[in-house]
Chain A
Amino acid sequence: SYELTQAPSVSVSPGQTASITCSGDKLGDEYVSWYQQKPGQSPVLVIYQDIKRPSGIPERFSGSNSGNTATLTISGTQAMDEADYYCQAWDSSTVGVFGGGTKLTVL
């Protein structure tokens, strides 16, 4: 079965750029979406189809996907961005796969 790998944790200083990566075999051939989840809350879509931002998501969130790695980038990270982030893709277009999640800490 298809697997997506994320680092368990990433730390960033306020105002700096955070990069959260997601790796999988030929991941660049698939669309990747990213979800933010804060403690006690449901996940929220922050990036879809690799690079697109839903309405209401700040411009500091951006995405890319090439080769075997997709990246969620948060520019000018704010304290409110501290959360768990999950990448997601489809295996054979029908089976959903999530990465293990990355806990972003804003120090």
Chain B
Amino acid sequence: EVQLVESGGGLVQPGRSLRLSCTASGFTFDDYAMHWVRQAPGKGLEWVSGIRWNSGSIAYADSVKGRFTISRDNAKNSLYLQMNSLRAEDTAFYYCAKDAGYDNYWYFDLWGRGTLVTVSS
């Protein structure tokens, strides 16, 4: 089955760190770029970060630049998001999303179910 499964969410205090993981199955993971997209409860979608197939190019939203780091391990079919210096406004469902392209960003053709990150003291 073609799917993405996120893990690692939870309750964390402001200023602390958290690492999200996304495990892919059912497709050739290293043929595609990957992304993280988040959605605060009751709010819209916000693109967070993207990484091309070979990690050769990485991009971040201004809201997380310098605090979040995206990475991937193609041997493990896994995508990661290291989140440091977390703020209350980072509270959201975090979705892993597969891009249809590998070297350029096209569109998101597969989404995970999401993992909830809550930043609160």
Contacts and interface: CB of A to CB of B under 8 A. Distances in A.
A98 B47 contact: yes
A93 B109 CA distance: 17
Band of interface residues on A: 20 to 34
B100 A43 contact: no
A67 interface: no
Given A97-B47, A98-B45, A100-B44, A54 B105 contact: no
A61 interface: no
B45 A42 contact: no
A101 B45 CA distance: 8
Given A96-B50, A100-B44, A33 B108 contact: yes
Greatest chain A CB density within 10 A among B105, B112, B114 is at: B105
B109 A96 contact: no
A93 B105 contact: yes
A43 B108 contact: yes
Interface string A24-46: 00000001010101000011110
Interface of B: 35, 37, 44-47, 50, 57, 59-62, 95, 100, 104-109, 111-114
